[in-house]
Structure 1
């Protein structure tokens, strides 16, 4: 599955940051929120309803699963915890229990919280905080799978065979209690030094099997590092990159597994909403193959794009350029709702299977509706009317929300990049050219330090090669940085014009 997640978070400063940068960043973020009409707070009616349901407690009967030693695995400091995990051996296979926050237990259909969630669509993350989908007293409190808290959940039980393939799937309402809130770095360290408990060791085993299954299906994962914006204890803003840890990939495979099972349940039940991605245009595949050849990246005979892409190293300039080009294969993702007739197109080709979003209901609107649909189908009961009534509008809401989130995410990164480089015009930096326009007079450069991606102007730019560039412009109001080549370039290797990606995808 393509997972280009940009992690944006700030650590509370112990003392004031240098005003020139701190003020620029904070003012720029405020301007960006106003520009994109991002709400600063919840309406009083939403907060009042959250207080009411919090005092009342979760709705619905549920099984007691508090004896299962679940754990959560999330980035450090997370409070909106959607998933808790437990894995055990079952014969020569495995039993995966995946508890997902039961948001519908707290959110009344067509109530104030529900209506506001349909406006917000998903949680937005910025370097100075988050704009949550649901009121924090729920999303970071009563509805969150926090450690040592009895929390309502949709409990998925997925039995796998020895190869990690699902054999039986059920979902029911339950009360769970997470035993520990693990971080990715802490979980990885425990696995590396041998101190991890058996469920965490089995996560590695199952995750590895699922990655192998993804390869066999022909799935595509872009191994791109995250851009990370942080404000350190000294108040200084920094921008860096972070490679994904293995435990994150294994954990992500459990989420993918659950989403695939959810899609299968809904397709068999002929009602629900799936996430789709069409097959890549053969012309885009051929352009990528030509780019690989021009960049010196091996493409063995018979290899699929997924075979080549998953082994790329983003730290290699040529590989980074090919990864940028590879995003052309992943265009056209959509949500498709259905009720009574299964749509013709149901595949998510990057996952190479039908797939649905269901594991992040605290942070994404559609997941609540998918969870309730699967719950009803597993119980042999009618899907609730409020879910069926929402299906026709959900694809449009999610498409709009995804676009809004992408604009905000990109805007946050652009303004932080500009703020960090303000006043450094004329300085020279090391980087690599990762994108070039068809006319080859402009492109994108990825700096080594700081981890900035900016526009690069110049003729005959050497795609996939190391370069030294001079900063020409760093504008926070425009949220733009611009570079030029600092040293004359020899004739760049010939890259077929048709293989060069368009900057419009940035």
Structure 2
């Protein structure tokens, strides 16, 4: 049948009238306007002329009687139209097509239509009834969701919503049917509203594709190799209370004209060799995942138990040596495989011992190092910090006091990073150098929270390369992160390269180094984002249970909205009003938006 003007065709299950023929005919579609289509995309039904689609009113007829007459035979659309409706017109042709689409009496195409057998009709009717019953159940399910209700048997029907909320899908048939946006946030909100999830459900690690399963690969035995025995030196591993993976410790020796500072680091590369299964798994993960619910280590638990400093009587270490003159200026750096005897302290315990050796001298060294970095433009940022932990759905938020013992450890670790970078440069060792571009300068005497907030905003992203470059934020001319090889993959890579040098083995080549840097940076970025969002999620859960009042400080203002920092929660929120930076407020939580990771607070004076 040719596609001439006035012909009746079917396009995407709808009747359409041909307006003009040709290679790309124009058609008028019922309820959808005009459109040019390819001839193969339409099904001709009647040559016309059809003056209007409104004329397709079904004529009277008896399809059941026609089925009885035609049982066991075949026919065409034109013949069936004449048999059922007495004439072949556009209206009767469309009516027969609807019989075919219904499928209970006939099936086929316009040129060959076959009546169903009684058995086929019974099967079709049963299938149709089941489909209709399922459609009714689905509509009842959607009605319950609209009311915020959920029956126990509804849970499987929410699978597509949960998949979207967890980042395992990009669409949701249920949300689309409800007329809601198909986003993870909308899915999360619906699951909370109907009670399928509660506030303790943290979707972010899964949504961001971060592995939360423990590493279960087998661990090799520690190699028997020469190590410098430093067990005679007191070595202090200072960490947060409850830390389970101590990977650095400090020792100090007096020299005739200065000091020898040792930064001992867990010797992870002794067990995790380049391109081994464990190395590839650590590279895939990028870093240990620290959540309020607990940590998911980058390495097997057995590796932490074997390598953690202070977990055994004597620990293997890769130790970074920095010789300092009497004024605490670095003179010489070195790296060695060692054995150390470590005592573990919390930051609070170390704070109490700052007046005793060796911490008293370490404190003076740290103060000198910090002053030197500040003189080279380092960005000193002091903002409130908290530790959020979750046990059995209960959230605990603990403010971390700005202890000087933390600065002692931080300065020592940064000195170690500079020393490793210097050692690598002196010996031609390819290493993953961390660099940071210069940033907008702020008042060096800044002390207020708004000033500190502005400082933090000015920081540029850390860049990684196989060649040294300045790290502006730290105020160091070169730097290699190297004090957490059990927790950060690039630290592990640095250790693998240092070990290759010490053993006079080939290094990982620079192109391979760059590939490792790229893979680890991408993976660890996902880990850090999962940590940030999980921390904010649980902090908001805590805020929903403890609505205030809380102490708040306005730290920034942009347009009508101000950024306010809840100091006891280290939580930043937006607040509208005529509020100047530095204003101190008493705030209460008015509304918590967990899926949006936001909250609305009100000023109560």
Coarse TM-score class (shorter-chain normalised) = 0.7 to 0.9
Which residue is 1:363 aligned to? 487
Q: Map Cα deviations across residues 235-256 of structure 1 (whole Å, 9 max, x no partner).
A: 8423343232101101211111
Q: Is 1:153 aligned to residue 317 of structure 2?
A: yes
Deviation at 1:208, TM superposition (A): 2.0
Which residue is 2:306 aligned to? 142
Deviation at 1:268, TM superposition (A): 3.2
Q: Is 1:101 aligned to residue 275 of structure 2?
A: no
Selected match of 1:452 from 561, 571, 575: 571
Selected match of 2:352 from 189, 192, 207: 189
Selected match of 1:348 from 471, 475, 480: 471
Q: Is 1:165 aligned to residue 329 of structure 2?
A: yes
State how far apart, in whole Å, the 1-side matches of 2:410 and 2:256 are: 24
Q: Map Cα deviations across residues 238-279 of structure 1 (whole Å, 9 max, x no partner).
A: 334323210110121111111111112223344322110111
Q: Helix, strand or coil: the match of 1:433?
A: strand
State how far apart, in whole Å, the 1-side matches of 2:507 and 2:374 are: 39
Q: Map Cα deviations across residues 395-433 of structure 1 (whole Å, 9 max, x no partner).
A: 3234323422331222122212321233677x7654221
Change (3 A) 1:226 1:387: farther
Q: Map Cα deviations across residues 18-76 of structure 1 (whole Å, 9 max, x no partner).
A: xxxxx955312xx222112222324xxx52422xx1xx333644333333332211111
Q: Helix, strand or coil: the match of 2:218?
A: helix
Which residue is 2:374 aligned to? 215
Change (3 A) 1:150 1:430: closer
Q: Helix, strand or coil: the match of 1:272?
A: coil
Change (3 A) 1:486 1:77: closer
Deviation at 1:216, TM superposition (A): 2.9
Change (3 A) 1:163 1:374: farther
State how far apart, in whole Å, the 2-side matches of 1:322 and 1:86 are: 36
State how far apart, in whole Å, the 2-side matches of 1:209 and 1:375 are: 30
Q: Helix, strand or coil: the match of 2:353?
A: helix
State how far apart, in whole Å, the 2-side matches of 1:326 and 1:214 are: 16
Which residue is 2:594 aligned to? 476
Contact 1:266–1:273 (8 Å) recurs in 2: no
Deviation at 1:336, TM superposition (A): 1.1
Q: Please show how residues 417-432 of structure 1 align to structure 2 within 5 Å.
A: 417-422=539-544, 429-432=550-553
Deviation at 1:386, TM superposition (A): 3.7
Contact 2:554–2:565 (8 Å) recurs in 1: yes
Which residue is 1:115 aligned to? 280
Change (3 A) 1:448 1:79: closer
Computing the radius of gyration over CA atoms, which structure comes out larger, 1 or 2? 2
Which residue is 1:403 aligned to? 525
State how far apart, in whole Å, the 1-side matches of 2:587 and 2:364 are: 44
State how far apart, in whole Å, the 2-side matches of 1:430 and 1:64 are: 52
Q: Please show how residues 173-252 of structure 1 align to structure 2 within 5 Å.
A: 173-178=337-342, 180-191=343-354, 194=355, 196=356, 198-231=357-390, 236-252=394-410
Which residue is 1:297 aligned to? none
State how far apart, in whole Å, the 2-side matches of 1:115 and 1:360 are: 17
Q: Please show how residues 197-346 of structure 1 align to structure 2 within 5 Å.
A: 198-231=357-390, 236-270=394-428, 271-280=430-439, 284-285=440-441, 288=442, 305=443, 307-309=444-446, 312=447, 319-338=448-467, 346=469
Deviation at 1:111, TM superposition (A): 1.8
TM-score of the two chains, using structure 1 as the length reference: 0.74
Contact 1:62–1:174 (8 Å) recurs in 2: yes
Contact 2:210–2:527 (8 Å) recurs in 1: no
Gaps of 5+ in 2: 1-196
Change (3 A) 1:203 1:461: same
- Tell me how many residue pairs correspond in the alignment: 407
Q: Map Cα deviations across residues 468-490 of structure 1 (whole Å, 9 max, x no partner).
A: 44534202233221234557xxx
Gaps of 5+ in 1: 1-22, 289-304, 313-318, 488-506
Q: Helix, strand or coil: the match of 1:420?
A: helix
State how far apart, in whole Å, the 2-side matches of 1:369 and 1:212 are: 30
Which residue is 1:14 aligned to? none
TM-score of the two chains, using structure 2 as the length reference: 0.62
State how far apart, in whole Å, the 1-side matches of 2:239 and 2:216 are: 26
Deviation at 1:352, TM superposition (A): 2.0
Which residue is 1:496 aligned to? none
Which residue is 1:27 aligned to? 201
Deviation at 1:361, TM superposition (A): 0.5
Change (3 A) 1:397 1:375: same
Greater relative CO (CA pairs within 8 A, separation 6+): 1
Contact 1:32–1:408 (8 Å) recurs in 2: yes
Change (3 A) 1:449 1:336: closer
Which residue is 1:75 aligned to? 240
State how far apart, in whole Å, the 2-side matches of 1:276 and 1:211 are: 18
Q: Helix, strand or coil: the match of 1:399?
A: helix
Deviation at 1:449, TM superposition (A): 4.8
State how far apart, in whole Å, the 2-side matches of 1:247 and 1:216 are: 21
